[in-house]
Structures are given as C-alpha cells and as structure tokens.
Structure 1
Amino acid sequence: MKLTVVGGGSTYTPELVDGFARLRDTLPVEELVLVDPAADRLELVGGLARRIFARQDHPGRIVTTSDLDAAVEGADAVLLQLRVGGQAARLQDETWPLDCGCVGQETTGAGGLAKALRTVPVVLDIAERVRRANPRAWIIDFTNPVGIVTRALLQAGHRAVGLCNVAIGLQRKFAALLDVAPAELHLDHVGLNHLTWESGVRLHGPEGEDVLPRLLAGHAEAIAADLRLPRPLLDRLGVVPSYYLRYYYAHDEVVRELRTKPSRAAEVAAMEKELLSLYSDPALDEKPALLAKRGGAFYSEAAVDLAAALLTGSGSPYQVVNTRNAGTLPFLPDDAVIEVQAAVGPKGPSPLPVPSLDPLCTGLMAHVTAYEDLALDAALRGGRDRVFKALLSHPLIGQYEYAEELTDRLVAHNREHLAWV
C-alpha cells in the first residue's frame, strides 16, 4: 500500500508518521511518500519520520520528494495537509479583519475566506494530477477550510473525504470524564466543518444509551471551561458546541481578546522554528512533547482509521467525516458538505440518519452553507464582487461597509495568490 502526504514538510507530519508506525496492523503502509516544495523542511521532517519508523520496527519505506507527479504515481490514498502562503499568510488572515472589528481567524470569517481563495485552486490542480496518476485513489483532505475544500473536490468529481480532529478530540475528552475507553463512545456529531454540535454521546454505538445528560450534569463546568463559554449557556443549549462556536456565540468578546494578545500564527511560527530544530537532532526518534501544542491532536488516529476504512474496509465502522449531504439534512442542498457520523468503507462514506435539530443549529448551518456557496464560487471564478458577496453573507460580518473594507484588505494581502487580480 502506498500513501502520499502532500505538505509532508509540515511540522504536523511526525504526528501522522507516529500514527502510521503505531497502528500498522490497522493500516499496513508499505511506502509513505512525503512531498513538499520546501526541501530544507522536508529533509528534517523526513529524517525524523524514518527514525520513528525504525524505532518502532516498521518495515515500510519512507520517500521524500518535491516532485508531486512522481509522489502520487500509484498512490492508493493522498492526504492533503498544505498551507498556501505558509504562516505568513495565516498571520495576515488573523490580523486585518480585526481592523474592521471582525474576528481574525484562519478558517472562519474574512480570514477563512482568504484561505479558501488561496487554497481551492491549488488543491484542485493537485487532485487532477492524482486522478491522472490513479483515478481510484482516495483523497483525504485535512486542509482548511475543510468543508469548502472538500466541496470543491467533490463537485469536480474526485474521490474525496474531508477530515477534522474536533470530533475525535471531544470523544477523547468525554471518555476521560466518564472514565471509559474512547472506542466505547459514539458522538451524535452534526454540523458543518468548524460549526458542529454534539447532540448526543452514546455508549456502545449509534443505538446505545445517550449519556450526554449525565455528562453535562456531572462535568458541565469542566466542559464549559474547556470551550471558554459560560456554564449557563451549555445548560440552556442542552448540547455541546465545538470550540469554534465561540466565534459566533461570543464574537465581540473574542475580538477584544485577539486585539490584546499575540496571534496564534505568531505562536505557531515560533513553535515551528523550535520543532524544526528538534527534528534536526539525529538522536531524536519519536515525536517531541512540544508537538502536542502545535495543534492537530489525534490527527494520526483519525487519519489511519479513515484510510483503513476506505482502502481495506477495516477500521472503525462509524467515523465523523466531511462528505456530501445528499439529503441527510433536508434543510440543506444535496451538494452541501456536512460533518457527521458516517458508515465508511471502500465505496466511501454513507452518512447516518440525523435526528431533528433545534432551529438554533439549523438556522446557523443554513446561513453558513449559503456563505460557503458564495465562497466557493469566488474561489473558482474570482472577482471582487464575488468576494464582496461572500463576505456580506457571512454571519460574522453581514454589514456592507465592513464587507467593502474587508474585500479591499483581502485582495491587497493576497494578490500574489489570486490569479484574477
């Protein structure tokens, strides 16, 4: 089995490689190809990756290259974890929206749109090259904004599934609070990427006992503190929102915070510098503890589980993925991409039925889906007016004066990545 990681020079990669090494019985990788245009980073990450495999006696071969076509030739699955523009672009995404009083964040709001505009054309070009190399290959997208990128891939006819680590992170946290094994918990996870709620937490599969009321009764304070939302809000919602909902439920509070502290991009850039220094140590043969602070917790477990299900039919029978709605949520278009529990196998994901939802959730989902329609149109066809409409439609913006100014700033900061400018 051959797997290719596009963006293999990312400091995330040792987390992924560690998962491949530990879980080789679930996913027997014979060749792992790391491809990245940044040769210096790739050499450091690739060296550590080989040492991780060696430490854990993994028999697979690790190849590093900057040649994308060679990297995807014959690949059974291609994982996308790229960042167009690097941390410098992310820093801009997190900064200029704040000047207009809007959240500065790399996956939602104006910053999220900028990332989508930079990313979608690049990903579609990669996907076409994957299709030419092996039309049966699966594309697993971990590149943000996952919902919009996955929708672009699916609309272009690619065999693609989107992956996010929010659900597996919550599963692990809930399991620890309830003192059960993570595999015993099935989340009734529903929404769009980075706009999700846990409407149930079930023991032993989708038909099991819903222990969410017990979880909230005994641990609401801890959960609320982790989400940085007030406990009374969780009591009134009766569900657990993802931490990304804080951008919506406490928008102005978040803006005030972001204006008074270093950006996450600056923190990550400093962390990456330190990580690459650690990776250069020829004695290091395991992922360093610092990597846990980089983000992407449990990414490797989720990626291995998904790839195993798609390629071999093994892995967990139900997994949270980003996939085509196809009537699962009747209030959204069929071609919308939703993030839900699905039965996953070699034919792809099949979403499980979703119980009726509170209008508080469905209304916001419909609103953001409409934004994603416009965002994808802007990413595919370009044009200032399309960017303006997407910004105006976003629930975190929604005022024409803000949308006008944000459009100007977005274009100014992303000229080198927008072919239509």
Structure 2
Amino acid sequence: MKDKLNIVIVGGGSTWCPGILKSLTKHQDIFPLNRVIMFDTDAERQAVIGEFGKILFREEAPEVEFDYTTDKDVAYEDVDFVLCQIRTGGYDMRSKDEKIPLHMGLIGQETVGAGGMAYGIRSMTDMIEIVKDVRAHSPKAWIINYTNPAALVAYGLQKAFPKEDHILNICDQPVNLLRSYGRLLGRDSSEFEPVYFGLNHFGWFTHLYDKDGVDLVPTIKKFVKENGFKPVDAEQRDQSWLDTYAMVADMLQDFPDYLPNTYLQYYLYPKYKLAHLDPDYTRSDEVINGREKRVFAECRRVAEVGTAKDSSVVQNDAHGDMIVEVSSAIYRNTRQTFIVMVKNDGIVKDFPDDAMVEVAASVGVNGPQPYAVGEIGTFYHGLMVNQYSYERLAIEAYFEHSYEKALQALTLNRLVNDAKDARAILDKLIEANKDYWPELS
C-alpha cells in the first residue's frame, strides 16, 4: 500500500469540485495525498475552481501538491485514483435535454426520460476516451465514475470494457437520502446499514438497520407520513429539490413497501410531474441562476482575498465525502458498505445478468463485493425490467449507430411510452445532438 496517493479530478470546472477538494483536504487521515490535479477541457471555467483549490490546499493541506491542467498527458500520468464527473455539452445541452421534451408535452429532466437518453448517449464517447487515456498512462488506476446519467454510462462502460475491473460507478443520491433519514431521526447516518436494490435513480431501501440491528424503515415511514420529507440540506436547496423530496410522502402512501429513491416520482407520476414543470424555466435554469452563480462568485472572492477560511463555497458535502470515503475504502481495504452499481450476475433473482444494478456492497482493495438481493416482488421486477430494457437498447443504439434501437428505447421508456411521440422526439434530439451523437442509421 502506497503511503500517499496521486489523484486526478476529471471535470475540474464542475460546481461540485470545491466540495470534493474540501473533502480531500479534511480526510487526509483516511486518504493521504501526494498530488491532486484537476483536469478539464474548458480552461476558463476550470481556472476559477482551480485558483480556489490552490488557496484551499495551501491553507489546509500544504504538504499536498495541487494544480490544474487541460493536458491529459499531464493529468493522467502515474495516478492512483481518477475521480470522474464530466458534463458533455455543458449546461447548454442540459437545457436542451430538459426543454425539448417539455415543449413536446413530455417530461424533460437531466437523467430520466428522453433528455436522460440524450445526455447518456452524448456522454459515452467522452467516457470511453477517458478510460482509454487513463489506461495508457496509469494501467492500474481506479476510476471512480459518477458521471450522469450514471445508469446509462455504467452500462455503456461495462459493454465497452467487459474485462475492466478497476472502474467503480457510484451515485450520491442514496447517500443524500441516508443523510436525510439521519436528520429526521436525529441520528448519525454513517452508522446506518442499508439494504437497497434497483437501478440507478430507480431503487428502494428495503431495510435500514442502526448499530443495534433495529430496522428504522417503519419509523421513517411513520415520520414521513405525519411530517413530510426534506433533504438534509433543505435550507440550501432550490425549490425544485424541496418539491422532489416532498413527493416521497406520495410514493409511500401509494406504494408503502419500501423507501423510494426520489427520482421514482417521474416514473410513477409522469402526468403530475409534467403539469408542474415549466418548459421555459427548467432545473438547468435554476442551477445556472443559483448554485452556479453562488459557487463561482465565492471561488472568485476567495481568490481575490487570498484565503479560503470561512468560505461558504461548499454547501452539500455529501457528494465529496462519499467519493473520498469510497476511494479510501478501496485504498485501505476497509470493506465498508456503500451503495454502488455492479453487474447483476444473479444478485437480483430472475433479472438479466448483464444489467448494472444498484445495490449495497462491501468495498475493499478488490472493489465491490455486492450483497445478494434475491427475489423481488412482481411490481418492482416489472418496473426494473422495463427500465433495464430501455437502458440496454439506448446503449446498443449508441454502439450500433442504430436509429431503430433508439426508437425502441424511447418507445419503451415510461416517460415517452408512445411510438409516434418517440419518433418525433428522437428526430429532434438527433438534430440537437448532431455534434455529439454518432450518426444513427
């Protein structure tokens, strides 16, 4: 085991980067660092975050070498961990992902529905290139990937690199939910032992044990029924996220078996969600006018005054902490439990083996060792098979350059669910993504 590690953050211009940098400085006890490099193709955007990072590391971890670059040969050379969070096409394309479907009377969202498929196909070329570039420079580096839409990206990477055993796909939404449960119970969520199954942004907590082995799910259900549900960082969230968490109460009323992932609201209540979404002002506008402005303004302020002490740039540390803690579990071989994406291979009974399911797993030096789920109920199995089929066809459309499979994928998607609508929106998405998608024929 190396004494200190070299890491690269891919997507250094992301507004989530300051939180990751802060987590890296504060977790030196479990994830000791020699060098941290940020890499992005957008030099101007990354520089704002990078200058903040220089000050942060100078003040909180001066022994760590920190820099940022647009040269992938510099970024990937001799690294141990690659923390990957890219957004191909930036917020301009995200806005199209959300607004094109909405203007056609369909759900527009970053990771689900037609917009999610557009983003997923758009991400694949860059993600495949990143893996190849990393392997050319650092053959044994762990790639911790949390690029959205994680379900499609994870499935696509598994197809592109079937023998790859050093890529771990993760998402912070289960962690955000666990922290939110901790808030409403007045408990430390790091002590919870979750039992979870599903696909990314499409899953359920069946049990949530405390350190004494008591299942907290019944208590959480009762609390949400009586008091509603808020994210752990509710005071810092935009209204759309508060509305999203509030709908957990609706889902529990209709489907009380398990605690749902918040994204299930789109699949279970598409008509309701569509009626409450504005096609001219979507989540991308909220981010651009909210978190985006706040983070970049604060990073510029820190650079101007020359100190990051008392900076408010980090608002939700769950994202950064999760990434560092998962990486640390691999580095230190702690076998800590996390919710991650892995190839099914019998984990969920009677479900396709090649599906990338999201389940609890112990994580150590050899990667994730998932816990078996077994048989699931007909309702949940049916929802998951439908979603998996859409995901598989979407990725096959990418690799095979197949218009037919893209059309099949959108027709199956619960947020489209009509072949004529699917064809109309597919043609619009092809035009919007002509600089990013492969030509579909």
What TM-score do you get using the length of structure 1 for normalisation?
Answer: 0.93
Trace 1:194-343 onto structure 2 (pairs within 5 A). 194-204=201-211, 208-224=213-229, 227-229=245-247, 231=249, 233-235=251-253, 236-259=255-278, 262-271=281-290, 272-281=292-301, 282=303, 283=305, 284-285=307-308, 288-289=311-312, 291-292=314-315, 298-314=318-334, 317-343=336-362
Tell me how far 1:170 sits from its aligned partner: 1.2
Which letter does structure 2 place at the counterpart of 1:407?
L
Helix, strand or coil at the partner of 1:319: strand
Residues 30, 61 of structure 1: 8 Å contact kept: yes
Kindly tell me: are residues 277 and 175 of structure 1, through their superposed partners in 2, closer, same or farther at Cα, counting changes over 3 Å?
A: closer
Of 4, 19, 22, the match for 1:18: 22
1:27-73 per-residue CA deviation (whole Å, 9 max, x = no partner) reads 11211110011111222111111222233245211121101122111
4+ residue stretches of structure 1 with deviation over 6 A?
none
Q: Does the alignment pair 1:193 with 2:193?
A: no
Moved more, 341-350 or 38-47: 38-47
1:96-139 per-residue CA deviation (whole Å, 9 max, x = no partner) reads 11123211001011000000111011100110111121221111
CA distance in 2, matches of 1:352, 1:290: 37
Of 168, 172, 178, the match for 1:165: 172
Kindly tell me: are residues 233 and 77 of structure 1, through their superposed partners in 2, closer, same or farther at Cα, counting changes over 3 Å?
A: closer
Residues 24, 58 of structure 1: 8 Å contact kept: no
Kindly tell me: are residues 218 and 298 of structure 1, through their superposed partners in 2, closer, same or farther at Cα, counting changes over 3 Å?
A: same
Moved more, 51-60 or 133-142: 51-60
Q: Does the alignment pair 1:38 with 2:57?
A: no
Tell me how far 1:287 sits from its aligned partner: 8.2
Residues 5, 80 of structure 1: 8 Å contact kept: yes
Of 156, 180, 187, the match for 1:180: 187
CA distance in 2, matches of 1:103, 1:116: 16
Which letter does structure 1 place at the counterpart of 2:12?
G
Identity value in percent: 28
- How many residues end up aligned between the 2 structures? 415
Helix, strand or coil at the partner of 1:30: strand
Which letter does structure 2 place at the counterpart of 1:134?
S
Kindly tell me: are residues 125 and 231 of structure 1, through their superposed partners in 2, closer, same or farther at Cα, counting changes over 3 Å?
A: closer
1:246-270 per-residue CA deviation (whole Å, 9 max, x = no partner) reads 1012111111111367211112122
Unaligned runs of 5+ in 1: none
Helix, strand or coil at the partner of 2:47: helix
CA distance in 2, matches of 1:232, 1:17: 37
Which letter does structure 1 place at the counterpart of 2:340?
V
Q: Does the alignment pair 1:29 with 2:47?
A: no
Tell me how far 1:379 sits from its aligned partner: 2.0
Tell me how far 1:274 sits from its aligned partner: 4.1
Which letter does structure 2 place at the counterpart of 1:217?
K
Residues 150, 160 of structure 1: 8 Å contact kept: no
Residues 18, 287 of structure 1: 8 Å contact kept: no
Of 123, 148, 155, the match for 1:151: 155
CA distance in 2, matches of 1:162, 1:141: 5
CA distance in 2, matches of 1:147, 1:216: 27
CA distance in 2, matches of 1:222, 1:50: 43
Kindly tell me: are residues 203 and 165 of structure 1, through their superposed partners in 2, closer, same or farther at Cα, counting changes over 3 Å?
A: same
Aligned to 1:102: 106
Q: Does the alignment pair 1:116 with 2:123?
A: no
Tell me how far 1:232 sits from its aligned partner: 5.9
Kindly tell me: are residues 356 and 297 of structure 1, through their superposed partners in 2, closer, same or farther at Cα, counting changes over 3 Å?
A: farther
CA distance in 2, matches of 1:72, 1:241: 38
RMSD: 2.0
Kindly tell me: are residues 212 and 9 of structure 1, through their superposed partners in 2, closer, same or farther at Cα, counting changes over 3 Å?
A: same
Unaligned runs of 5+ in 2: 231-241
Tell me how far 1:26 sits from its aligned partner: 1.1
Residues 37, 66 of structure 1: 8 Å contact kept: yes
Tell me how far 1:359 sits from its aligned partner: 2.1
Aligned to 2:236: none
Which letter does structure 1 place at the counterpart of 2:113?
G
Aligned to 1:70: 74
Helix, strand or coil at the partner of 2:82: strand
Which letter does structure 2 place at the counterpart of 1:305?
E
Which letter does structure 2 place at the counterpart of 1:400?
A
Residues 10, 85 of structure 2: 8 Å contact kept: yes
CA distance in 2, matches of 1:189, 1:222: 24
CA distance in 2, matches of 1:252, 1:290: 36
Helix, strand or coil at the partner of 2:435: helix
Which letter does structure 2 place at the counterpart of 1:174?
Y
Moved more, 174-183 or 54-63: 54-63
Q: Does the alignment pair 1:55 with 2:59?
A: yes
Aligned to 2:401: 382
1:146-181 per-residue CA deviation (whole Å, 9 max, x = no partner) reads 122122222313321111111111111111222221
CA distance in 1, matches of 2:361, 2:141: 20
Residues 197, 205 of structure 2: 8 Å contact kept: yes
Aligned to 2:377: 358
